[in-house]
Chain A
Amino acid sequence: MRVSQEIEITPAKVIINGEPVAVKEKGEKMLVELYRQYANDYPKFFKMDTLCRLGFIASEILLREEQVEAVILANRSASIKNDTDYLSTITGENYYPSPALFVYTLPNIVTGEIAIRHHIQGETSFYILEDEQQLEQIIKSTITRHPSPILAGWCECSGPDTFNAKLQIIWNN
Chain B
Amino acid sequence: MEQLIEQLKSQIIEALNFEDMTPADIDTDAPLFGEGLGLDSIDALELIMLMDREYGIKLADPKAGKAIFQSVRTMAEYIQANRTK
Contacts and interface: CB of A to CB of B under 8 A. Distances in A.
Q: What is the interface of chain B mostly: helix, strand, loop, or mixed? A: helix
A26 interface: no
Interface residues of B, number: 13
Interface residues of A, number: 10
A140 interface: no
Nearest to B47: A99
Contacts of B15: 100
Contacts of B77: none
Q: What is the interface of chain A mostly: helix, strand, loop, or mixed? A: helix
Given A96-B52, A96-B53, A47 B45 contact: no
B18 A103 contact: no
A92 interface: no
A112 to B, nearest CB: 14
B30 interface: no
A97 B49 contact: yes
A100 B44 CA distance: 10
Nearest to B43: A100
A99 B17 CA distance: 13
20 contacts: A32-B19, A43-B18, A43-B20, A46-B17, A46-B20, A47-B17, A47-B42, A96-B53, A97-B49, A98-B46, A98-B49, A99-B42, A99-B45, A99-B46, A100-B15, A100-B16, A100-B42, A100-B45, A100-B46, A103-B42
